[in-house]
Amino acid sequence: MGKIVTFGEVLMRLSPPEYRKIQQSTQFDFFFGGTEMNVAASLSKFGLPVQHVSTVSNDIVGEAALAAMRQYGIDVSQVKKVDHPLGLYFMEIGSGMRASQIAYNRMHGAFAHITPDMVNWDEALQDCTWLHWTGISPAISNGAYETLKAGLQKAMDKGIDITADPAYRSNLWKYGKDGKEVLGELVGLSTIFIGGINEINEILGTDYSHYKDNFISAAESLMAKYPNIIKVFDKVRTGVSASHQKVYGRAWVNKHYFETPEIEIVDVVDRIGTGDAYAAGLIYGLQHYDDQHALNFANAACALKHTLPGDVNLVSADEVLEVAEGNISGRLKR
């Protein structure tokens, strides 16, 4: 099995400790993350070889971002340094009914200045059997979009599996392109779709409502328009409060619907990166199990990430497997 390659921004997250507002603190906890890099890091923790393609700032912050990626076992040979600050965001962490609040500083950052000539995709895709991207990357800048598209085209040519996680965030997409259109174009350069009714509605311009039958119809429509997509995996979240979440997975593959049991997390430690944990779990699962078990693994990985601080799901495949098999008692391991 070859390496898995991811592409996307590396961001610094800064939060005051203990549910505080910035004004109540003199310190920030920080983590390096980024939706696609998180996927790579989780897969590395599962034991798979990974590489991330990105840019970081050419300063002390970029140095630390590189060290963080290396710590996760990520090959950083295609992470270039550019003379723009690393993207970052501040988050005041909510609790219960109080939502977390975020302030971004990324639109003029290192990743926004990536261009296709900075990436040697041939080198990146050598010995690569899986490529993963999300809808955040092409939303940042035209350069990011062009760079991603170049990679996807090469990967499609090489027959590499490509997971697309094309979430559409309207408050990004400021550089002029129509986000929904671009996402559609890139889904046309992918093989596995991670998303549900919302994502499909955005890409197809449809308005399916949120029922199971609709999920199937939506998935069917998507695959009709993009026959290159052979599997659709969705993650369904119910947010009772900032501290209390429920998640389950569902899928439409080969005209077959299946889903996982719902897992409930009543004491959320950190919600960031739970979707990325799902994607990583799915990629690992599809490489090791059948589709149903892959989905179970993905949902368990997603649930476990809620219990761990930071952006990255630093749990082993064995820990995920145990939860996927229904053991959620959290019994002490001596």
Closest approach, Cβ 171 to a second copy, in A, equals 7
Asked if residue 195 lies in contact with residue 185, where contact means CB atoms within 8 angstroms, the answer is: no
Residue whose C-alpha is closest to residue 251's, from 276, 286, 202: 286
One character per residue 276-295, x = contact with a second copy (rule: CB under 8 A): --------------------
CA distance 205 to 183: 12
Mark 126-165 with x for binding to a second copy (rule: CB under 8 A) and - for no binding.
Answer: ----------------------------------------
Does 102 engage in binding with a second copy (CB under 8 A)?
A: yes
What residues from 240 to 269 belong to the interface with a second copy (CB under 8 A)?
240-244, 263, 265-267, 269
**For a second copy, which residue of 7, 46, 72, 252 counts as binding (CB under 8 A)?**
72
- Contact string 294-323 vs a second copy (x = CB under 8 A): ---------xx-xxxxx---xx---x---x
Name the β-bridge partners of 170: none
State the nearest-atom distance from the C-beta of 137 to a second copy, in Å: 16
Cα–Cα dist 176/210, whole Å: 30
> What string marks each residue from 49 to 68 as x (binds a second copy by CB under 8 A) or -?
--------x-xxx-xx--xx
Burial 272-308 (b: 16+ CB within 10 A, else e): bbbbbbbbbbbbbbbbeeebbbbbbbbbbbbbbbbeb
CB under 8 A: which stretch of 90-98, 126-134, 146-154, 186-194 binds a second copy? Answer: 90-98
Could you write out the DSSP letters of every residue in 292-307?
HHHHHHHHHHHHHHTT
Report the alpha-carbon distance of residue 14 to residue 30 in Å, rounded: 5
Q: Output the smallest distance, CB 202 to a second copy, in A.
A: 16
Minimum distance of a second copy from residue 117's CB (angstroms): 23
81 binding a second copy? (CB under 8 A): no
User: What is residue 267's DSSP assignment?
Assistant: S
The candidate with the shortest Cα–Cα distance to 272, out of 32, 86, 106, 8, is 32
Which residues between 196 and 215 bind a second copy (CB under 8 A)? none
Query: Quick count: other Cβ atoms within 10 Å of Cβ 23?
Result: 7
Among 1, 2, 77, 101, binds a second copy (CB under 8 A): 101
Q: Applying CB under 8 A, which of residues 159, 254, 255, 329 lies at the interface with a second copy?
A: 329
- The answer to the question of residue 1 lying near a second copy (CB under 8 A) is no
C-beta of 19 vs 257, nearer to a second copy:
19
- What b-and-e string marks burial along 172-191, b requiring 16 or more CB atoms within 10 Å of the CB? bbebebebbebbbbbbbbbb
Tell me: does residue 167 bind a second copy (CB under 8 A): no
Q: Note whether 2 binds a second copy by CB under 8 A.
A: no
| Cα–Cα distance measured from residue 146 to residue 242, given in angstroms and rounded to the nearest whole number | 36
Residue whose CB is less far from a second copy, 128 or 263:
263
**How many other C-beta atoms are found inside a 10 Å radius of the C-beta of residue 58?**
16
In the complex, least distance from residue 164 CB atom to a second copy, rounded to whole angstroms: 21
CA distance 286 to 151: 22
Q: Are 27 and 15 in contact (CB under 8 A)?
A: no
The answer to the question of residue 175 lying near a second copy (CB under 8 A) is no
Q: Which is nearer to a second copy, 204 or 279 (CB)?
A: 279
Give the binding-site size for a second copy (rule: CB under 8 A): 78
Stretch that binds a second copy, among 84-92, 202-210, 212-220, 285-293 (CB under 8 A): 84-92
